[in-house]
Structure 1
Amino acid sequence: MKEESRLVFISGDQKRIKEYQISSKKVIFYVSIFLIAVFVGGKFGLDMLVDISFNSKIKKLERTNAVLQARLLDMKERIKRIDQEMNLIAQQDDQLRTVLGLSELSADVREVGIGGSDYKYDFTDQVSGFEQSSDLSEQLTELAKLEREIKLELESYKDLLHTFQTKKDSLDYLPALRPILKGVISSTFGNRLHPVLKVYRHHEGLDFSAKTGTPIYATADGVVRYTGVMGGYGRMVIIDHKFGFETRYGHLNKYVVRKGQRVKRGEKIGEVGNSGLSTAPHLHYEVRFKGKPVNPKYYYFEDRILNERLVSKTNK
């Protein structure tokens, strides 16, 4: 006997009645279709929700990644500037050590530094997919290096301060001032082609190009040993300083000091000129230690403000 189910529909006013007969197999079929439709629709909807959520997270991560990359780029620029400043500090440190008679720190010592971490950072595994992970590792390693260099400079400055305190009475006699405040170095210390004689010979000082009449200042305390005309140097002033130092100023337009006069660092001693064997107005400046020429650049400070203050202090 065929199993059937009966569906009866009665209108609201109970005046109309409709009756449908359906087999059990059809009921099972339609119910199955309905359940399958519900399942498929539900899965599709769930997949859409998951995709929307995933895409939202991806966009959020992309925004975060962009911010991190911008910050990393900024950090790289700042580290670069700090590294440049550290190089300048190291140069000044070497200059101070020369002036104070101390040995310069070797390149190997500066490279290693003092204390801090020497660990090589590597985030390429931990931050997979982050484009700048290698840059991040590099910058953190560079920061650790700067940390060690800073600690080294702090220790070096302690050494310099101690030496300064023990030698402060003799520092007034060190040629630590630039001989002219304005002007550029046109010829350095060492072998060069002589601009007039056209032969190679050792240049025993520095040449500063400047306008005629530019003031020339004593670079340290001392006593004027010579004023006059000296061969190719033209008008020249020579000053004796204590502890074996002597400074020479050549090609002057005029000098305003006399032999035997005591001068202070920053005191005007003459003006730039073009006397002697010279092709243009400039100052020839020498530093001698125990009679031997040494590179003046190792003794004076390039800091313009510092030089101006020293001159201003002397001429008040």
Structure 2
Amino acid sequence: MNFYKTTIHFQNSSKSMTLHMPAFLFKAWPVLRFFVAIGVLLFIVQVVSTTVYDGVLNHQLNERAKLDREMTQIQGTLDYLSNTTNSFFNDENRLYARFSLPMQDEASRELGTGGSISADSLLLRKTSPVFERMSILGETAQRIQGKLANNDASFRNLNKYMDQKMSAWRFVPSISPTNGRYASAFGPRIHPVTGEVGKMHQGVDIANERWTPIYASADGVVEVAQMSSTFGNFVTIDHGNSIKTRYGHMQLSIVHPGQFVHRYQVIGYMGNTGRSVGPHLHYEVWVHNAPVNPLAYMLPNGYTVD
């Protein structure tokens, strides 16, 4: 084997070192340098790849956390909508019960969101928790939307029914036609003027000061507005559905036959005209051509049916 002799002299010293190195090392140096360069390059590539991978991984983790927060917010919104719709449906049930209408079947509101799922989608849902959660959120939103859409027609019908009822109720007497003291009730009594015993009093008397306003107790058309020897200035209003109201002993009536009046509209003022012993309103309610107790058509505390 051939050797190369190499002498190494140390600076500022008389010492030196002699090395005997095999000749093949000098011949293999270009090859070793190539492998060293390849190793350095691979190391640099590994460092860069690791850095890029860590950056991408951190970005994906941040995006995943952001997506989780957004899905949590969506879930909270869907829960709120679900609770709101349940409360909404409870109010609907109360309205149906209030008007004695048959309530909807609860099962009809819980609409399904079924249908076939492709094998690829099923595999993705099983292998991806995020996709599975998004699918559940989508199905929940679709179910809530279906429940609301399914009840839209129901609410429209209920609203139409209520409008019809409200239109009819406008013509039903439900208030006291004036303010004052109830001086005489409905039923047999001793007539205060003639003294007749057992005379049927077909209405109620409400006493107050002269010129106290008198109101129509419901919508209707004035049928009579004239002077009578018995009731003085009196008015009859036809409310339809065989219901009429009569107002007597008024000081002055300010309506005329054929005039349409609304509930709470002033039709005259309290007085003492006709056969009367003091300022008061004689008020009657007739149903199917027969007098009934007007108190049955007066809601308490100023309430009305509309």
Question: When the two structures are superposed, what TM-score results if normalisation uses the length of structure 2?
Answer: 0.47
Which of 1 and 2 has greater Rg?
2
Question: When the two structures are superposed, what TM-score results if normalisation uses the length of structure 1?
Answer: 0.45
